[in-house]
Amino acid sequence: MHVGVDGCRAGWIAVCANEIGLKYSIFREIDALVQAHRAAKQILVDIPIGLPGTGCSRRPCDSLARKVLGNRAASVFPAPSRAAAHADDIAEARRLNIEELGVSLSAQAWGICQKIAEVDKFLLANPNVRSIVREIHPEVCFWGLNGGSPMRHSKKTKEGVVERLELLESVDPRAGAFYLRVIAETLRKDVQRDDVLDALVGCLTGMAQATGTLTQLSGASKKDGEGLPMEMVYRSIVRT
C-alpha cells in the first residue's frame, strides 16, 4: 500500500491505494494512523519532518521547493525550529524561533506547529518507521506529476481544484470519482476540500513503481540535529 496523509480539523486524513482501489480513513492521532497502515511501503505526510536548527537556520528543501514552484512558491513557508514547534503558544514559539534561527515565526507556520510537534515526537520515539513515514509538499507533488510545471491556479479556487483533479486522473482514472465520494461523505468542519486533494496526491505520488521516479528535494543539509531527513518526496513524470 501507498498512503498519502494530510492534517485536517478532525486530525489526519489518510488516503491509500492497493490492488482493490482507493480508500480513506480519518484518525485523531498520527500514531494510530501509522499503526493502522503497518503494511504500507510509504506513508507520505504533508508536514515538515526534518526541522531547522543551529547550523542550518533554513531548510534547503524549502528553498528548492520555492524555486521550482514559481507562481506557487508562496505555498512553501519556512519550517519552525524544533523548540518553536513544541512551544505552548505563539509568543513563546516566536521567541524560541528568533533565538535559534534568527527570525520570527509566521502565524501560518504556527497554525500547524501542533501537528509538526506530534509527528516529530512520534518519529523521535519510533526510529524504525523513519524510512516509511516521509515528508511531502502537495504543490511539489503536483509539480512533479505535471512534468516539472507548477499548477496555474490556487487549490482554494474552483479552477485550481479542476486543474488538480484532471492531473490526478491522468495518473489514476479513479481519482476524480474518489475525490467526490470523500467530499460527499465528510463534513467541511472536519475535512476541507484541499485536505482531500493533498492526501490524494500524496497517495498517488507513493505509487512511483507504476509510473515515474520517486525522488526528493533535499539540498546540501539532508538531516536535522536529531537525524530526521530534511526533504520533500515527489514523483517525477515526463509529460509528452
Q: Specify the pLDDT at position 20.
A: 80
Question: Mean pLDDT of residues grouped by 10 in the chain (240 residues)?
Answer: 95 90 96 95 96 90 96 94 97 97 93 97 97 97 95 95 96 95 98 98 83 80 90 87
Q: What is the DSSP string of the chain?
A: -EEEEEEETTEEEEEEE-SS-EEEEEESSHHHHHHHTTT-SEEEESS--S--BTTBSS-HHHHHHHHHHGGGGGG--PPPPHHHHT-SSHHHHHHHHHHHHSS---HHHHHTHHHHHHHHHHHHH-GGGTTTEEE--HHHHHHHHTTS---SS-TTSHHHHHHHHHHHHHH-TTHHHHHHHHHHHS-TTT--HHHHHHHHHHHHHH-TTTSSEEEEE--S--B-TTS-B--EEEEE----
pLDDT at 209: 57
pLDDT at position 222, please? 83
pTM higher than 0.85 for the full model? yes
